[in-house]
Amino acid sequence: MSIVRKISESAVHRLSLYLRILEDLESEQRETVSSEEMSGRSATTAAQVRKDLSLFGSFGKRGWGYDVADLAGRLRKILGLDRQWRVALVGAGRIGSALVEYGGFGERGYDVVAIFDSDASKVGEKWGGLRVRDIGEFEEVASEQSVEIVILAIPVEAVPSVMEHVDRAGVRGILNFAPTKLKVPEGVAVKDVNMVMELEALSFALSQEDGER
Amino acid sequence: MSIVRKISESAVHRLSLYLRILEDLESEQRETVSSEEMSGRSATTAAQVRKDLSLFGSFGKRGWGYDVADLAGRLRKILGLDRQWRVALVGAGRIGSALVEYGGFGERGYDVVAIFDSDASKVGEKWGGLRVRDIGEFEEVASEQSVEIVILAIPVEAVPSVMEHVDRAGVRGILNFAPTKLKVPEGVAVKDVNMVMELEALSFALSQEDGER
DNA sequence: GCCGCCTTGTGAAAATCTTCACAATATTAG
DNA sequence: CTAATATTGTGAAGATTTTCACAAGGCGGC
């Protein structure tokens, strides 16, 4: 199953969504599901669901639908959730703590193996069994721990100095919470989580309504 | 300037990004900027920048570029940042606290005027000058305070009961941090901030690389 | 074993989004 | 004032994504 086609950002998001729906169905003990029902629980059409899945193979049975557990497993594999990812958290502030507390990451295959901060007063604290380390140790610890993904939960002004450490450590992906566009070496994947942008999209939508009325 | 055309999600995100770039330029005391330079600082092309802006009007001067301050002002207006929005935070947990602490919202026009939680042990705490209230008071307080936007920072399992309160209060927009698709009345806008989905998009991207190699 | 029903998988059409390419035009130099 | 230069605004072309619509199968009933 070697996939060559480029999969769009939105298709990948929908796959995540489908997986979440399937997990709900699993907890409801459902055996099968149709593209029709999947579309009802997401915000798409049945055709979209089938098209998205067909990008990766043929998982359903005609006249019958999809096996919930089987499809969930396949989506997990497609999304890279069938293995463990070694993750470092950089930034032991509020967002970082929300993430560590949330905890759901371990279950989904993301193992937080180290936590860093540049604030000397935070270094040394214990967070869920891990000691907060100085960012200066990043390169060494990250390579020792085979860190592949960094969660970057630091303020914008700290980004340049932190990124120097991160760039040198051969990390493959960054989940970026800082509201700024990261400059990263070729081959490093970045995904942004940006609540300010979403809030702006919201007030844009509301303003548009006002204008139309 | 009545806009009828439907503006795509991605175009709106780019507008936010352009505004952030313009604010950087303002702090660098720059007078003008070309679509070329804007594209260099974002991840788009100059044509894309011009096309996006042209959806709303004609803001530049040929041979000269855009006036930084003027364009920033126009984008703020387009994004609905030229007015105040009355916001309620629902969920006084880690994420909620990260948001309140972050603080940048006030400056951007989002006034957090009330905070709610369903956990009795949190009710009554003081958060940045506001008392955490019981979610049961939501409808009353939200209408009294003319709340338009709700930031929903609660766990998935709390969503159904909380949404009953929110639905009845005539809120217009929701910024949703819970990793679930909200069912909202007609006319209510929802934007999701979902770090799990972004993490999955990241591991998907990394898995794809592996597969190609 | 055959028929009727249901739902997938998928080409083709439609819609949407991005890039191209260039005329229009403001600015500056001579 | 004219020419040279720079950069916008925008139709048209190209690319991508979504929707449509239906043939291809699988399943249950008889």
What tokens were used for A10?
A: 């939105």
> What integer pLDDT is reported at residue A95 of this predicted model?
86
pLDDT band per the 50, 70, 90 thresholds, residue B4: low
B71 with B106, same domain?
no
- What CATH number does residue A140 fall under? 3.40.50.720
What pLDDT band is residue A1 in, cutting at 50, 70 and 90?
very low
pLDDT tens column, A180-196: 889 899 889 999 999 89
Retrieve residue B207's tokens: 């898995």
Of A53 and A104, the structure prediction assigns the larger pLDDT to A53
Q: Using the 3D structure, point to which of B78, B107, B128 is the last residue of a domain.
A: B78
CB within 7 A of strand D (chain B, 66-125):
66
The answer to whether B189 and B172 are in contact (CB under 8 A) is: yes
Strand B110-117 and strand B85-90: the pairing is parallel
Q: What pLDDT does residue B213 have?
A: 58
pLDDT in tens, B6-19: 899 999 999 999 99
Query: Which residue on chain A is closest to B209 by alpha carbon?
Result: A187
pLDDT digits (tens, 9 = 90+) for B45-75: 999 999 999 999 999 999 999 999 999 999 9
Per-residue pLDDT at B1: 43
- Looking at the structure, tell me whether residues A155 and A183 fall in a common domain: yes
CA distance A175 to chain B (A): 7
pLDDT digits (tens, 9 = 90+) for A61-108: 999 999 999 999 999 999 999 999 999 999 999 888 888 877 778 888
B112 and B162 within one domain: yes
| Tens digits of residue pLDDT in B131-142 | 999 999 999 999
- Count the domains in chain A: 2
Spacing of B63 CA from C29 C1' in Å: 15
Residue B38 lies in a domain: yes
Nearest to B197 among A7, A16, A180 (CB): A16
Whether B189 sits inside 8 A of A180 (CB atoms) is no
**How far A137 CA sits from the closest chain B CA (Å)?**
24
- The answer on A129 and A185 residing in a single domain is yes
Report the mean per-residue pLDDT for chain A. 92
The reply to whether A71 and A89 lie within a common domain is: no
Q: What is the pLDDT of residues B144-198, one digit of tens each?
A: 999 999 999 999 999 999 999 999 999 999 999 998 889 999 889 999 999 899 9
Helix intervals (H) in A45-158: 46-54, 68-78, 94-102, 104-107, 138-144
Q: What is the DSSP letter of A5?
A: S
Report the C-alpha gap between A78 and B190 in whole angstroms: 28
pLDDT at A53 over 90: yes
Q: Is the CB of B64 under 7 A from strand D?
A: yes
Please report whether residue A22 resides in a domain: yes
Q: Report CB contact under 8 Å: B108, A199.
A: yes
Check whether residue A30 and residue A99 sit in a common domain.
no
Q: Which of A29, A27, A24 is nearest to A40 (CA)?
A: A24
What confidence score (pLDDT) does residue B94 get? 86
**Under an 8 A CB cutoff, do B202 and A42 touch?**
no
Among candidate residues B36, B59, B78, the one where a domain is terminated:
B78
CB of A54 within 7 Å of some strand D atom? no
Query: How would residue B128 be classed by pLDDT, with cut points 50, 70 and 90?
Result: confident
Q: Is residue A212 part of a domain?
A: no
Nearest residue on chain B to A92, judged by CA atoms? B98
Average pLDDT over residues A118-128: 93
Radius of gyration of chain B (CA): 20
CA-nearest of B112, B120, B85, B110 to B96 is B112
B188 in Cβ contact with B173 (< 8 Å): yes
B47, closest nucleotide (Cα–C1'): C19
Residue of chain A whose alpha carbon sits nearest to that of B174: A202
Could you tell me which of B197, B207, B198 has the C-alpha nearest to residue A82? B207
Please tell me the total number of residues recorded for chain B in this structure: 213
Q: Which domain holds residue A175?
A: 85-196
Task: Please say whether the beta carbons of A121 and A147 come within 8 A.
Answer: no
A201 lies in some domain: no
Instruction: Mark whether A13 and A89 lie in a shared domain.
Output: no
The CA dihedral of B72, B78, B82, B83, to the nearest 10 degrees, is -160
Q: In this predicted structure, what is the pLDDT of residue A4?
A: 56
Mean pLDDT, residues A40-68 taken together: 95
Residue A172 belongs to some domain of the structure: yes
Mutate to test the interface with A, among B13, B24, B157, B199 (most CBs of A within 10 A): B199
| CA of B28 vs chain A CAs: smallest distance (Å) | 15
Residue A211 counted as domain residue: no
Which of B63, B78, B93 corresponds to the end of one domain? Answer: B78
Interface test with B, best of A200, A208, A210, A212 (most B CBs within 10 A): A200
Residue A207 lies in a domain: no
CA-nearest residue of chain A to B201? A12
Q: Indicate which CATH number applies to the domain containing A37.
A: 1.10.10.10
Is residue B172 one of the residues assigned to a domain? yes
